Amino acid sequence: MKEILRIQGLSAGYGPLGVLHGVNLTVHAGERVGLVGLNGHGKSTLLRAIVGLTGWQSGSIRLRDQEIGGTRSQGPGRYTHRIVRLGLALMPQGDAIFHGLTVADHLDSGAFTRRAWRERMARRDRVLDIFPPLRALLKAPVGKLSGGERRMVSLARGLMADSSLFLIDEPSLGLAPKISKGLIEALTQIPLDDGAMIIAEQNLSLLEGYVTRLVGMHGGKLKGGGDALSAVALGAPH
Amino acid sequence: MDNDLYYVALTAITLASIYGLLALGISIIWSSLGMINMAHGFTFAAAGFGGWLMAQHLTQNGAAVILAGMLTGALIGVLIGAVAFIPLYDKPNFPLRSLIATLAISLLGAQALLWVFGPRVKALPKVFGQENFQFGSAVVSADKLGVIGTSVLVLLATLIWARRSRRGLEIRAMMQNPEGAALVGIGLRSTAMSIMAVTGALAGLAAILLAQTYYVSPYAGLTPLLKGMIVALAGGLGSIPGALIAAVLVGLVEALTAVTLGGQYVLITQFGFIIVVLLIRPRGIAGILEQTRE
**Strand ranges in chain A using DSSP code E only, listed in sequence order:** 3-14, 17-28, 32-36, 56-63, 66-67, 88-91, 165-169, 196-201, 213-218, 221-222
Q: 3-class SS at A102?
A: strand
Q: What angle do CA B122, B127, B131 make, to 5 degrees?
A: 115
- The crossing angle, in degrees rounded to 10, of helices B188-210 and B62-80 is 140
Across the interface, whether the CB atoms of B177 and A96 are under 8 A apart is answered yes
* Portion 161-200 of A in contact with B at CB < 8 A: 161
All residues of chain A having their beta carbon less than 8 Å from the beta carbon of residue B183 are 51, 53, 80, 84, 90, 92, 96
Tell me the pLDDT tens digit for each residue of B94-144: 889 999 999 999 999 999 999 999 888 888 888 887 777 777 677 778 888
All residues of chain B having their beta carbon less than 8 Å from the beta carbon of residue A112 are 184-186
Across the interface, whether the CB atoms of A97 and B172 are under 8 A apart is answered no
- ipTM, two decimals, is 0.82
All residues of chain A having their beta carbon less than 8 Å from the beta carbon of residue B187 are 81-82
Across the interface, whether the CB atoms of A157 and B187 are under 8 A apart is answered no
Q: 3-class SS at B100?
A: helix
Distance from CA of B255 to the nearest CA of A (A): 34
Instruction: Please state the rounded mean pLDDT for residues A182-192.
Output: 81
Tell me the pLDDT tens digit for each residue of B19-29: 899 999 998 89
Cβ atoms of A142 and A99 closer than 8 Å:
yes
Q: Give the residue from B209, B200, B213 showing the smallest Cα distance to B42.
A: B200
Q: Give the residue from A53, A43, A51, A52 showing the smallest Cα distance to A20.
A: A43
Pairs of residues, one from chain A and one from chain B, whose beta carbons lie less than 8 Å apart: 73
Pairing of strands A165-169, A221-222: unpaired
Tell me the pLDDT tens digit for each residue of A123-153: 888 888 888 888 888 888 888 888 888 888 8
SS3 breakdown of chain A: % helix, strand, coil, rounded to 5?
35, 30, 35
Amino acid in the structure at residue A129 = D
Using CA atoms, how far residue B29 sits from B144, B167, B175, B224, B269, in Å, is 28, 15, 8, 16, 26
Mark out the alpha helices in A66-193 (DSSP H runs). Answer: 80-85, 103-110, 114-118, 120-130, 147-159, 177-189
User: Assign residue A77 a region: left if phi > 0, alpha if psi is -120 to 50, beta otherwise?
Assistant: left
What are φ and ψ of residue A67, in 5° steps? -75, 125
pTM for this entry: 0.83
Tell me the pLDDT tens digit for each residue of B231-270: 888 888 778 888 888 898 998 898 889 888 888 888 899 9
Cβ atoms of A213 and A31 closer than 8 Å:
yes
Q: Is the pLDDT of residue B10 over 80?
A: yes
Does the beta carbon of A81 lie under 8 angstroms from any beta carbon of chain B?
yes
Cα of B196 vs its chain's centroid, Å = 12
Residue A236 burial (10 A CB sphere; 0-12, 13-18, 19+)? exposed
Does the beta carbon of B173 lie under 8 angstroms from any beta carbon of chain A?
yes
DSSP-derived secondary structure letter, A135: G
Q: 3-class SS at B105?
A: helix
Across the interface, whether the CB atoms of B172 and A92 are under 8 A apart is answered no
Helix (H) or strand (E) holding B135: strand B132-135
Report the alpha-carbon distance of residue A118 to residue A112 in Å, rounded.
10
The pLDDT value recorded for residue B7 is: 79
Q: Is the pLDDT of residue B206 over 70?
A: yes
